[in-house]
Each structure stands twice: as C-alpha cells, then as structure tokens.
Amino acid sequence: MSEPTDEPTEQAAHEIEKATVFGETPSDLPAPQHGMFGVEGTGDTSGYGGLVRQSWEPPAAQRPYGGYFDELVDALASAYPKFDQAVTKVVVDRDELTLHVAREHVRGLARVLRDDPALRFELLSSVSGVDYLGWEHRLHAVYHFTSMTYRRRVRLETAVDVEDPHVPSVTPVYPTADWQERETYDMYGIIFDGHPALTRILMPDDWDGFPQRKDYPLGGIPVQYKGATIPPPDERRAYQ
C-alpha cells in the first residue's frame, strides 16, 4: 500500500502546467484574479486604468478618546489659551491621535507641545505633505511629535489650498524641521513662511512643478542625461 503524499499527481501537475501556459483554470483550483483591486484589462493600478477610490475622511472623535489622549488634549487646551480657535477637529483612528488645526496656530501649538511640562514633546519626528485632490483645501501639512519623557505621540495636521499654500514654519521651534519642510515644499509646493532657506532639496532648482501632487503628470518627463524620456503609463509595458 502506497504512502499518502501531498505531491500533486502527474495528471494534476499537467493541468496546472497547462493552466499556466494557456491561461486556463483547472476545476479544482480557485479562479484567478486579474489586476490589483479587481481591475481588469490593464496592468496599471495608479488610477489611469480606471481605478477610482471614494474619498473618505475619518469623523471627529467623541470623548472619552481613550488611553492618554484625553489627558494630552486637556493639557494642551490648558496651556494654549486659543485652543478652541486653533483645533478644528480631533480624530482618533487606528489608535492614533490627530489634531486638525488652523494653519496660523501651527507654530504656537508646536512651541507649547515642546515647552509645557505636562506635554514635553521634545522631538518633531517628521513633517510631510498629502494631496487630497478634489478637496477644497487639498494640500495638507502633517507633523508627527514624540514625547520621549512620557512616551507619547501626537499628530498635527493643517490644510491649505493651491492658490494660497502658506503655512508658518516650525523650524524656529524645532530646527530638525529645516530639511523636512524643504522636502515637503519641493514635492507638494507648500510654502513654509519664516523658513531660513526654503529651496528645493530633491529636484533641481529650476524644476517646474511639484512631483507628488496628484495632478502632476506621471510620464513623458525628459531625463536630464542622454535625452531619454520616461513614457506615459498607458504606453509602458504591462506585466500581467
């Protein structure tokens, strides 16, 4: 009596090989999926192939926020007299606290987060940008703060529009924001007022446009050397 084995029989192996070559599916195998997110007829999943995502914005959180979030928000409200005018929404999503703030209060809130004894956010971990194309204020500057004293994190987020993309620089408060704000300016075109030297950091100084904006073209960009070009997405080879 032969030993049981998990190896496919010769006939099953032949069916699998045939399916691989001819694109067929054996009856005992699941149907293949075509394209990421269910997209068919294209190897592109950037949106140019017809993929459309519905915009979603996390709702404002209600108290109690949970964990240390209530204590943190209360301490910030106590230390910053204009808290109600500065903070437009509090969001708790995926166990992370985000304070949506008016742009004119960004630097003041950053200073209080750093200096108040009940907060002590000594480290500005990052400054980055987001482009929510189609929103009224589509360009968002996002700040991640870390308190090494209390082992806490908080995120500030402020929104501006393309016609007036100005936000106060927090470099005078956190010097490490210098290159982070430069990169956000370079990629998204957000202008940080009061920055000591707001110049491009990744792209050439004479580069036209901001590459990480959602309406920036993805292809056909002349390469600097040897005159080569990058073709548009719909002309590139699709790997199925």
Residue 198 placed within a domain: yes
> Which position has the token pair 């699941």?
30
Residue 49 placed within a domain: no
Mean pLDDT over the full length of the chain: 82
**CATH code of 91's domain:** 3.30.460.80
Confidence class for position 188, pLDDT limits 50, 70, 90: very high
Q: What is the phi/psi pair of residue 88, to 5°? A: -90, -25
Confidence class for position 202, pLDDT limits 50, 70, 90: very high
Q: According to the model, what pLDDT value does residue 119 have? A: 98
Q: According to the model, what pLDDT value does residue 78 have? A: 98
Q: According to the model, what pLDDT value does residue 236 have? A: 63
> Which residue range(s) make up the domain with 85?
69-235
* Predicted structure pTM score: 0.73
Q: According to the model, what pLDDT value does residue 15 have? A: 56
Confidence class for position 58, pLDDT limits 50, 70, 90: confident
The 3-state secondary structure of 64-123, one letter per residue: CCCCCHHHHHHHHHHHCCCHHHHEEEEEEECCEEEEEECHHHHHHHHHHHHHCCCCCCCE
**Statement: residue 103 has pLDDT above 80:** yes
**Statement: residue 69 has pLDDT above 90:** yes
Query: Which of residues 18 and 164 earns the better pLDDT score?
Result: 164
Over residues 208-228, the mean pLDDT reads: 74
Residue 51 placed within a domain: no
Residue 141 placed within a domain: yes
Residue 50 placed within a domain: no
Contacts of 178 (CB under 8 A, 6+ apart): 171, 195, 196, 197
Over residues 111-140, the mean pLDDT reads: 95
Residue 186 C-alpha from the chain's centroid = 15
> Which position has the token pair 């004119």?
104
Residue 44 placed within a domain: no
Q: According to the model, what pLDDT value does residue 65 have? A: 96
Q: According to the model, what pLDDT value does residue 56 have? A: 73
Which of 40, 36, 55, 46 minimizes the C-alpha distance to 217? 46
Q: According to the model, what pLDDT value does residue 223 have? A: 54
Domains identified in the chain, total number: 1
Residue 157 placed within a domain: yes
Q: According to the model, what pLDDT value does residue 100 have? A: 98
Q: According to the model, what pLDDT value does residue 25 have? A: 47
Query: Which of residues 65 and 18 earns the better pLDDT score?
Result: 65
Which of 198, 197, 196 minimizes the C-alpha distance to 188? 198
- Quick one: what percent of the chain has pLDDT higher than 90? 61
Q: According to the model, what pLDDT value does residue 23 have? A: 47
Residue 61 placed within a domain: no
- Quick one: what percent of the chain has pLDDT higher than 70? 68
Q: According to the model, what pLDDT value does residue 201 have? A: 96
**Statement: residue 225 has pLDDT above 60:** no
Please tell me the distance from the alpha carbon of residue 101 to that of residue 114, in angstroms, as a whole number. Answer: 17
For the chain, give the number of residues.
240
Please tell me the distance from the alpha carbon of residue 21 to that of residue 14, in angstroms, as a whole number. Answer: 11
